[in-house]
Amino acid sequence: MKKIVTKGIQIYILPKDQGDFISLTDIAKLKNKEFPAEVVKNWMRSRSAIEFLGLWEKINNPHFNLVEFDGFKNEAGSNSFVLSPQKWIETTHAIGLVSKSGRYGGGTFAHKDIAFEFASWISAEFKLFLIKEFQRLKEEENQRLVLGWDMKRTLAKINYKIHTDAIKEHLIPLQLSKQLINIIYATEADVLNMALFGKTAKTWRDANPSKDGNIRDYADVTQLVVLANLEGINAELIKQGISQSQRLMQLNQIAISQMQSLLGSPTIKKLKDRNTK
């Protein structure tokens, strides 16, 4: 888990598919270092907290149990009303809160929207410092992401050089005309196109006459990462003297395997989100 320090309090952050979840237990230590869980429960007793939690779930959670929520909302604020994060999660199928066990980093975590609301209930000043520290963390992550993406682009260029050198050394006989050499390059490029996209560059152009560029210009981030890998792998297969048809079959299986692995990658998702903004 990631962590930040706000007003001397170490706060853990749990990355999840829905976004970053910030520890409410850690934030609550500003009020009570010995029993922070009780602070969280006290907040959840209030009607405003229940209404906010319910609204967040309605917006973000299609499986939210509205019937159980209405029951909690009607009871909220009364002297006898007590609600723990675990009961809220289990009863309403909420996804905005997460209960995590463990000596370090355990406790109740909440989506950042909810965590900032809770921090505001604790202290407006603390909320402001928390937001600033969280933004600083995200800026650092974005800088690392940009650096990583630049490295991927550089890697793709390096792999392309390795790929073309392997073609030149092992597939292109001496004293060929430039036209024939270009044909061989185009053919080998289409080995990768077929393995990854299932079509040649010409097939794509014929199907997309109004688009500028080529099939690779319209590839998404996941495909570009796999393409960079395939270029290096194909270069090694060429050096081993493996025939083009056999290489195509192997590269296609590798492309399928890598695409399946990368499609669920949080890092790839961040890259996609960044490149669509």
Average pLDDT over the chain, rounded to whole? Answer: 83
Q: Which amino acid is at 78?
A: S
Higher pLDDT, 174 or 136: 136
Confidence (pLDDT) at 150: 64
How does residue 44 score in pLDDT terms, banded at 50, 70 and 90? very high
Lowest mean pLDDT among 124-133, 157-166, 196-205, 247-256: 157-166
CB atoms within 10 A of CB 264: 9
pLDDT surpassing 60 at residue 268: no
Tracing tokens 């237990």 back to the chain, one arrives at: 25
Q: Which amino acid is at 173?
A: P
How does residue 42 score in pLDDT terms, banded at 50, 70 and 90? very high
pLDDT in tens, 90-149: 999 999 999 887 666 689 999 999 999 999 999 999 999 999 999 998 888 777 766 666
Tracing tokens 């290096």 back to the chain, one arrives at: 232
Confidence (pLDDT) at 38: 94
pLDDT surpassing 80 at residue 151: no
Q: With beta carbons less than 8 A apart as the criterion, state whether 1 and 20 touch.
A: no
Q: What percent of the chain has pLDDT over 90?
A: 40
Give every CB contact of residue 23 below 8 A, 6+ residues apart in sequence: 11, 12, 13, 14, 105, 107, 108, 109, 115
Confidence (pLDDT) at 58: 96
Q: With beta carbons less than 8 A apart as the criterion, state whether 234 and 252 touch.
A: no
